[in-house]
A and B are shown apart, each in its own frame.
Chain A
């Protein structure tokens, strides 16, 4: 039986202050004109009325993650003898992501499959993931460009969250989804939430009807995209306006590719894992100088293909796109991945082209 709670809006800061005693909390804050997930300090104003500019993925998958530090030490007796001291820190604090959206929470589910559901789970990702609780805010209305309902999502989807919050006007209706969530909703600041459940459910349904549907279904999409693999003209047209930066990939809740580099100065250094973007030229650049994807249309084809074709084929149909629309909103030239998918769905081979 899921635990239900109601939190009046005036008590929100009290709740977060209480929570801060046990957890490190990340909340969406106004920073300049952007909204970013930052540690809660009670001073920066929260911004909950629109999705954050970047997804909260950096809480569990930091942009720069120091895997370990190393120090080359020369022995004073025999300078030819070198030893290496390695230090790593796998101590991850208990963390809460507060105010993410259902699409953001779904993003982590996409990560889970390649990072943890293998016989060699990623200890850095897994360590943080297990210590993180996600409190998701259901959407009041869709954002420009978003299309979660076309990729198996919903503005009030509980999957991937520990608690689902709904704005019911005077306060927030909290619905615990997991045991971790139930623990939090037990806080004394909550009132009984059961009377708000119906209102919340009605609101959820109303918003879901407003979400744009740029394409009908993802059924058969993996195969359809593969059939367009050799169609250079199709991808050249779709990628013509792309400028090949990394904005879409870096803001995306489901993009999970990384680089590992050793950054050394003198005898000390660190091995760092950092975000990589398949839209960059350097993504597939090989040490020989050869690049299998030198053209931006090949890279765009790969990005769309990975999300809607290769990943679903590997993981029983799961689409690696949560429909948040960030890539569309933040793209310098408004490349619209949902439009590309729609074009692919509708594409018919015309012999005269």
Chain B
């Protein structure tokens, strides 16, 4: 996947299959325009998201990472997003300690019918990442 030079940044999204992916689908079907920097990875539940996925993405070339799941109490698997909430909150507080701007990581809850909200989330997050610029922690050279 090549980045349209100078125009697009690499934003990775982890979306839960049921609510947030459905919400993104709704936004697409309704033809809501969104920036195309975001590339989506579908997971069964936001509880599947290991905080290390976010870290690996950020360290290996992503400029921003978005995680979206069902609203708490509405998880398709009942509890997955409760665990996700704890883990991702911990990660959000931790990233800046290592020198990685925590504004590059965002997690939110989007339901399947919230197409307009999804469009808002993607647009705002992409704007936020563009304001921060590309992340320079991509070292290719070995020792």
User: B139: which A residues are within 8 A, CB to CB?
Assistant: none
Residue of A with least CB distance to B141 = A66
Quick one: which of B118-143 are within 8 Å of A by CB?
Answer: 142-143
CA distance A281 to B142 in the complex (A): 25
User: A244: which B residues are within 8 A, CB to CB?
Assistant: none
Chain B nearest Cβ from A262, distance in angstroms? 13
User: B143: which A residues are within 8 A, CB to CB?
Assistant: 58, 62-64
CA distance A64 to B143 in the complex (A): 6
Q: Does A109 contact B (CB under 8 A)?
A: no
Interface size, A (range): under 10
At the interface, is chain B mostly helix, strand, loop or mixed?
A: loop
Chain B nearest Cβ from A63, distance in angstroms? 6
User: A63: which B residues are within 8 A, CB to CB?
Assistant: 143
Q: Does A304 contact B (CB under 8 A)?
A: no
Residue of B with least CB distance to A265 = B60
Quick one: which of A25-74 are within 8 Å of B by CB?
Answer: 58, 62-64, 66
Q: How many contacts A-B (CB < 8 Å)?
A: 8
Interface size, B (range): under 10
CA distance A64 to B141 in the complex (A): 11
Chain A nearest Cβ from B60, distance in angstroms? 8
User: B142: which A residues are within 8 A, CB to CB?
Assistant: 64, 66, 270, 272
CA distance A62 to B143 in the complex (A): 7
User: A270: which B residues are within 8 A, CB to CB?
Assistant: 142
Residue of B with least CB distance to A266 = B1
Quick one: which of A46-105 are within 8 Å of B by CB?
Answer: 58, 62-64, 66
CA distance A272 to B143 in the complex (A): 11
Chain A nearest Cβ from B26, distance in angstroms? 32
Residue of B with least CB distance to A58 = B143
CA distance A141 to B143 in the complex (A): 33
User: A62: which B residues are within 8 A, CB to CB?
Assistant: 143
Quick one: which of B88-143 are within 8 Å of A by CB?
Answer: 142-143
Chain B nearest Cβ from A154, distance in angstroms? 32
CA distance A270 to B142 in the complex (A): 10
CA distance A272 to B142 in the complex (A): 10
CA distance A64 to B142 in the complex (A): 7
Chain A nearest Cβ from B10, distance in angstroms? 14
CA distance A270 to B141 in the complex (A): 11
CA distance A58 to B142 in the complex (A): 13
CA distance A315 to B47 in the complex (A): 57
Chain A nearest Cβ from B3, distance in angstroms? 13
Chain A nearest Cβ from B88, distance in angstroms? 26
Residue of A with least CB distance to B60 = A265
Chain B nearest Cβ from A56, distance in angstroms? 14
Chain A nearest Cβ from B59, distance in angstroms? 13
Chain A nearest Cβ from B16, distance in angstroms? 27
Which 3 pairs across A and B sit closest by C-beta, in order of nearness? A64-B142, A64-B143, A62-B143
List 6 additional A-B contacts (Cβ < 8 Å) besides A58-B143, A63-B143: A62-B143, A64-B142, A64-B143, A66-B142, A270-B142, A272-B142
> Would you mind naming 8 contact pairs between A and B with Cβ atoms under 8 Å apart?
A58-B143, A62-B143, A63-B143, A64-B142, A64-B143, A66-B142, A270-B142, A272-B142
